């Protein structure tokens, strides 16, 4: 049997919020962007939309499509299909890619990590094709995987035709979908090993050196930014998906079809400043703080044990609003022994009556199984009563 508790948002509430002062949008009909065709601002943790502007309009996104290319590469690494130290031989097809590149040598071998780094830092088209061929056998098969993944993420206005973003008929996305894809990419912490590199040399096996400079100038222009992907073609205009973090709040912004490079970076800064000034992320469950309720245990050296959330839980909201937070805590039937960190229940977090998050409850201590002597002592104690 599972035991169900309903807990009001009181003792478990942990004070704490973060926002950046100084940027207010008096009229929400006013545009935050300048010279851009569409935009989207999202909270990373909850996925809640903060600001949107023509967000479902289908348009080319140029090299921003490499967000999905890199995502599939990281999936392949995590699943053991490839490893960062593996060598990939650049095909003639990959080495012949135009546009931004690191000038791979046909027949030369490069590590997976070298190629991934060049994709993030300098948007290397040749590295994208080399990676795609290594993972899927051909760029065409890889693109099919890109479209499948986009559908899984709920990107209903996205269609890829290549893994580079170079102009090609029948490929498009929208600001909303790019935000979904980029948010998903940020789940891979290894991404940040490359996204903050400003300048680095790419050393070829034949000792040639290609200097890589990060195309995302926002990491220098905006101190809170630690990642992003740019894109440009004459058809797509200037595009950017970027992320910034202040204290415990991370935001994702997308601007598409900007008239100039400055327009896209300045617009992203406006979006971030608006988000940090007007929204907060309040921690309501702290993994380092035990819950007030102890859970019962059978066959243990003691009848109850302390518990805590498995992870932190933050609630995202406007700074001028106080959402109604309630919890449902389900305690599982637990028999000793129990190890610290063992999952023993679950907390459902409700924001304004709607399920917001689900967090596992774990034991905050070890509980040994009761010995024969312990049981005898308990029985003797009951007789004494």
**Residues with catalytic annotation?**
63, 66, 123
Spatial separation of the C-alpha atoms in residues 181 and 215, rounded to whole Å: 19
Burial profile 342-377: b = 16 or more Cβ within 10 angstroms, e = fewer: eebbbbbbbbeeeebbebebbbbeebeebeeeeeee
Rounded to 5°, the CA angle 372-377-380 comes to: 125
Q: Which residues pair with 200 in a beta bridge?
A: 212
Please, how many CA atoms are within 13 Å of residue 181, restricted to the half-sphere of its CB? Answer: 33
Contacts of 134 (CB under 8 A, 6+ apart): 82, 86, 88, 112
Asked whether the bond before 337 is cis by omega within 30 degrees of 0, the reply is yes
Q: How far is CA 187 from CA 19, 45, 214, 226, in A?
A: 22, 10, 21, 14
Are 66 and 91 spatial neighbours (Cβ–Cβ below 8 Å)?
A: no
């Amino acid at each position: 049997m599972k035991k169900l508790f309903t807990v009001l948002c009181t003792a478990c509430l942990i004070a704490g919020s973060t926002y950046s002062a100084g940027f207010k949008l008096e009229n929400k009909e006013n545009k935050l962007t300048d010279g851009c065709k569409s935009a989207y601002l999202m909270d990373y943790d909850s996925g809640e939309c903060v600001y949107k502007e023509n967000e479902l309009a289908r348009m080319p996104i140029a090299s921003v499509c490499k967000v999905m290319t890199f995502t599939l590469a990281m999936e392949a690494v995590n699943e053991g299909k490839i490893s960062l130290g593996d060598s990939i031989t650049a095909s003639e097809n990959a080495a012949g890619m135009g546009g931004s590149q690191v000038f791979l040598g046909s027949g030369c071998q490069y590590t997976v990590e070298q190629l991934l780094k060049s994709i993030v830092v300098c948007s290397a088209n040749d590295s994208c094709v080399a990676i795609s061929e290594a993972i899927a056998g051909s760029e065409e098969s890889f693109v099919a995987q890109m479209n499948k993944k986009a559908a899984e993420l709920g990107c209903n206005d996205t269609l890829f035709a290549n893994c580079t973003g170079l102009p090609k008929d029948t490929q498009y996305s929208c600001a909303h979908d790019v935000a979904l894809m980029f948010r998903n990419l940020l789940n891979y912490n290894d991404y940040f090993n490359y996204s903050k590199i400003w300048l680095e040399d790419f050393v070829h096996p034949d000792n040639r050196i290609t200097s890589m400079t990060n195309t995302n100038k926002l990491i220098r222009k905006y101190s809170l930014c630690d990642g992003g992907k740019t894109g440009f073609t004459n058809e797509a205009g200037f595009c950017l998906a970027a992320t910034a973090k202040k204290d415990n709040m991370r935001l994702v912004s997308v601007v598409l079809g900007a008239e100039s490079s400055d327009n896209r970076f300045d617009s992203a800064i406006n979006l971030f400043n608006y988000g940090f000034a007007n929204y907060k992320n309040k921690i309501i469950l702290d993994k380092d703080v035990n819950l007030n309720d102890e859970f019962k245990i059978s066959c243990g050296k003691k009848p109850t044990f302390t518990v805590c959330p498995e992870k932190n839980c933050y609630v995202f909201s406007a700074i001028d609003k106080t959402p109604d937070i309630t919890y449902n805590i389900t305690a599982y039937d637990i028999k000793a022994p129990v190890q610290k960190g063992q999952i023993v229940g679950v907390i459902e977090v409700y924001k304004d009556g709607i399920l917001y998050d689900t967090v596992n409850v774990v034991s905050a201590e070890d509980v040994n199984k009761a010995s024969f002597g312990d049981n005898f002592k308990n029985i003797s104690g009951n007789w004494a009563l």
